[in-house]
Structures are given as structure tokens and as C-alpha cells.
Amino acid sequence: MNRVIYLGGGCFWCIESVYKKIKGVISITPGYMGGDIVNPTYEEVCEGYTNHVEVVKIEFDNRITLIQILSIFFTVHDPTSINKQGGDVGTQYRSAIFCDNDIRKVIIDFIKNIEFNKIYTDKIVTEVNEKTDFYKAEIYHHDYYTKNPKNAYCQAVINPKLNKLRSVFSDLISE
């Protein structure tokens, strides 16, 4: 049985491009969660007034574990940065996880273990939220990196994340 988790770690283009490379990931859909209005647009979310997070809905099978999904997530983004990732600034870029209530404890324990082992010098600020309504992003955001690999943002921001993924998680990559 496939499982689903929603990850927000900055721009959804970045998170989507990382998980597209992973064995066991069945589908990836960029979108918005956790906000105050129904069917937000990218422009509304970017204005910062909707309280939505840019997330990626990740459906995965038993070839990859939840712990591996989380390990990748906490490696390719900065979970200590409040409302920003690199040059992407705003509440829509906050570090957040949305999930079914039955796996929240596993995720919280995973984060506590990271903090206990002092993997980061600063406090982890990743939100762990119960799943809320998910709104798919506009179609031009889907598979953005694959369609625009020469884009300056892709070159400067996404490529380093993919390089880090390759160096740390080469055994999980399907390319």
C-alpha cells in the first residue's frame, strides 16, 4: 500500500526535483497547504497573505521508508531557517511537514533524534502538522526543473541540492 506525505522546504521546485530522483517515489505533485483560503493561486501565496506553504505531495511505496524520506528532506533543506530557504523569503517557504496523524509521532521522534545528536547547531523549526486540504499548484510549476534546467534559479539553487543528494543518498537514486 502506498503512503503519502507533504513536505515544505522552500520552493516546491527544489523539493520536487529532489524526490523525482528517488527509488520508490510513485508520484510528486507541487501545491499549497496549511493556509486560510480555498484554492489559492501562486500569486496569492507569494504575497504572503494566505498562510499557505509551498509543499510537494509525495506518494511512495515500500521500496523506501518514511525515515529515508525524512533523512533526504532534512539533508536537502535547512530546517533551522524560519520562513526562508536561501534567497526564497516568506511564510510560504517555511519548513513544514503535513501528514496523517498516525505517523506524526514517528516524525517528531525523528526530529528529536536530530536535535539530540546536534546535527544542526541551531534549533529545528520544522512544523509537523496534521494533513489539511491540499491544493495543486498551477500546471506550469509541475516538473519545473526538468522543463527548465538552464533557468538561472535551477542552476543556482536546485543543482546544488541535486549534487548533495547524489553524494549522500546515491543508493536511493533511480537515475
Measure the CA–CA gap between 140 and 136, rounded to whole angstroms.
Answer: 11
Q: Is the pLDDT of residue 164 over 70?
A: yes
pLDDT band at 125 (very low <50, low <70, confident <90, very high): very high
Measure the CA–CA gap between 27 and 162, rounded to whole angstroms.
Answer: 18
- For the chain, the domains span 3-169
Q: Is the pLDDT of residue 95 over 70?
A: yes
| Class for the domain spanning 3-169 | alpha beta
Give yes or no: 11 in active site: yes
pLDDT digits (tens, 9 = 90+) for 97-122: 999 999 999 999 999 999 888 889 99
Task: Indicate the angle between helix axes 12-19 and 159-168, nearest 10 degrees.
Answer: 30
Mean pLDDT for the chain? 95
Mean pLDDT of 77-97: 95
Contact 135, 40 (CB under 8 A): yes
Q: Which of 11, 14, 99, 154 is catalytic?
A: 11
DSSP per-residue letters across 52-117: -EEEEEEEE-TTS-HHHHHHHHHHHS-TT-TTEETTEESGGGSEEEEE-GGGHHHHHHHHHHHHHT
pLDDT band at 175 (very low <50, low <70, confident <90, very high): low
Measure the CA–CA gap between 86 and 78, rounded to whole angstroms.
Answer: 9
